[in-house]
A = this chain, B = another copy of it.
């Protein structure tokens, strides 16, 4: 019995007549009853979201689905060029670049905010929270590091996703401690450095997901779910209007061969 603890799962089971997902009958209680976004919330958090939580999660997933011809999208489209019969390979290749440089910011921001919240303590006043933010920002800047969630190479003044997420979080009553702290962090950074860096989309999404109760270790996973939809869009386009092969040909033609001596 106890040696089988590792073979317990709460996700799903099936018998001849029914399929159960997290204690609910798939065909009767979920299909036609919940949206894919609600199911995603249920799968990760093991409880159904409220309509307000669903609305905020939908906005976050929509905001994260695509950012144009990013390195990960290019990797997916180039992989499709070589193996068009294996769409799973192209999608996997398009997810594998979601690491410390791209998309990692969603998770990094949440972890940074969580650490500041822990440092300030559960009962922290606004002033105490601000003091904790000041310490954390100063420590990062002293170490020559960036503040996760601040700054964007294209959206230098304001990232259009940020005010929209705050608006929806406010409307839905889900503007929680992470989102609130992120604004304080941006203020503290601006006051301390004189440089007004906007809160970026990945950062505000990380804070919103943390306020929705998702654990930091899963946040990049939610971003990857959103990005999978974006990859489907790019692969649909690649099938009609290939970019991978001509990109390869142009790189191949222009590349200068400069061997070691």
Residues on A lying within 8 angstroms of B by beta carbon are: 4-23, 25-28, 30-32, 34-37, 39-40, 43-47, 55, 57-59, 61-63, 65-72, 74-76, 78-93, 95-104, 154-158, 160-161, 163-165, 167-168, 215, 217-218, 220-222, 224-226, 228-237, 239, 241-248, 251-252, 254-261
Having A4-B254, A4-B256, A23-B261, one finds 19 other A-B pairs with CB under 8 Å, namely: A6-B245, A9-B237, A10-B237, A10-B258, A11-B234, A13-B68, A13-B259, A14-B67, A17-B155, A17-B160, A26-B62, A43-B232, A43-B233, A44-B233, A85-B99, A88-B98, A93-B96, A218-B236, A225-B229
Contacts of A90 on B, CB cut-off 8 Å?
96-97
B236 touches A232 (CB 8 A): no
A224 touches B62 (CB 8 A): no
Check if B78 sits within 8 Å of A11, measured CB to CB: no
Contacts A11-B230, A71-B244, A78-B97 given: A61-B88 contact, CB under 8 Å? Answer: no
Question: Which chain B positions have C-beta within 8 A of A35?
Answer: 35-37, 58, 62
